[in-house]
Amino acid sequence: MSDSRTQALNTIRAEHRTLAAVIHNLKDLLTEVHAQRMKVDFPLLWSMVYYIDAFPDRLHHPKEDEWLFRLLRQRTHEADALIDELQRQHTHEPQALGEIRRWLGNVEAGVPGSMDALMRTVATYAEFTWRHLKTEEHELIPLAETHLTSADWDEIAHAFAQNADPLNGFGEADAFHQRFREIVERTPAPLGLA
Ligand SMILES: [Fe+2]
Ligand SMILES: [Fe+2]
């Protein structure tokens, strides 16, 4: 396996893990608050929602769309239908996050029934995201491994490396890493992202 390929796939999987971890924790935190085992921390909840909204939208999905998916479409038509579906899911995401923001706002405003609605919406979103990440890892990546050239992997690795480089751009990637660390630190025990 080429170094670029290993590097690109490691970065993609690591990004999936941080995203999944925050969603998982949001879900667990709401369960604890609902059961009155924990006090509600709205800044933490909003910070998590911001992260799961903005990180994929600003950094992760654009790199998939513009590099991984684009190059794979050039090499084969075998993945076309799968990529169509994954890109449809990328565009659906802001809508799903809009729903979560709406219900979280209603919970903060003390609207009756809104906590149940928020928990349902987050659970649906979590399921949707697990499916998306699993499909990419178990279906899309194997096709990419079969069809992409080592020059393709060089380009993809370079694009994703920007996400991990704090000196890149306006430090946006670094700001997301920082926020992730803050979320980890603020999440009360026994929950956590270890
Ligand atoms: Fe994706
Ligand atoms: Fe992804």
Interval between CA 31 and ligand 1 midpoint (Å): 27
Q: Which ligand is nearest to the Cα of residue 128, counting in written order?
A: 1
pTM: 0.90
Interval between CA 128 and ligand 1 midpoint (Å): 11
Report the sign of the C-alpha dihedral through residues 81, 82, 86, 89, in that order.
positive
Q: Which ligand is nearest to the Cα of residue 90, counting in written order?
A: 1
DSSP H or E segment with residue 111: none
For residues 53 and 174, the answer to whether their CB atoms sit within 8 Å is no
For residues 73 and 80, the answer to whether their CB atoms sit within 8 Å is yes
Interval between CA 128 and ligand 2 midpoint (Å): 12
pLDDT tens for the chain, 194 residues: list them.
569 999 999 999 999 999 999 999 999 999 999 999 999 999 999 999 999 999 998 889 999 999 999 999 999 999 999 999 999 999 999 999 999 999 999 999 999 999 999 999 999 999 999 999 999 999 999 999 999 999 999 999 999 887 665 555 546 777 888 888 888 888 887 676 55
Out of 1.20.120.520, 3.40.640.10, 3.40.50.2000, 3.50.50.60, the CATH code matching 3-186 is 1.20.120.520
Interval between CA 99 and ligand 2 midpoint (Å): 21
Interval between CA 136 and ligand 1 midpoint (Å): 7
SS3 label, residue 191: coil
pLDDT of residue 188: 80
Torsion of CA 175, 55, 121, 183, to 10 degrees: -30
For residues 161 and 11, the answer to whether their CB atoms sit within 8 Å is yes
Geometric angle at alpha carbon 158, from 156 and 162, rounded to 5°: 115
Provide the residue ranges of all domains of the chain, joining segments of one domain with +: 3-186
Interval between CA 41 and ligand 2 midpoint (Å): 29
Q: Which ligand is nearest to the Cα of residue 9, counting in written order?
A: 2
pLDDT of residue 1: 54
Interval between CA 63 and ligand 1 midpoint (Å): 9
pLDDT of residue 23: 94
pLDDT of residue 193: 58
Nearest Cα residue to 186 out of 42, 7, 57, 53: 42
CA atoms within 13 A on the CB side of 138: 6
Cα separations in angstroms, 30 against 17, 18, 26, 79, 104: 20, 19, 6, 37, 10
Interval between CA 29 and ligand 1 midpoint (Å): 25
43 residue type, one letter? P
Interval between CA 140 and ligand 1 midpoint (Å): 10
Geometric angle at alpha carbon 33, from 31 and 39, rounded to 5°: 155
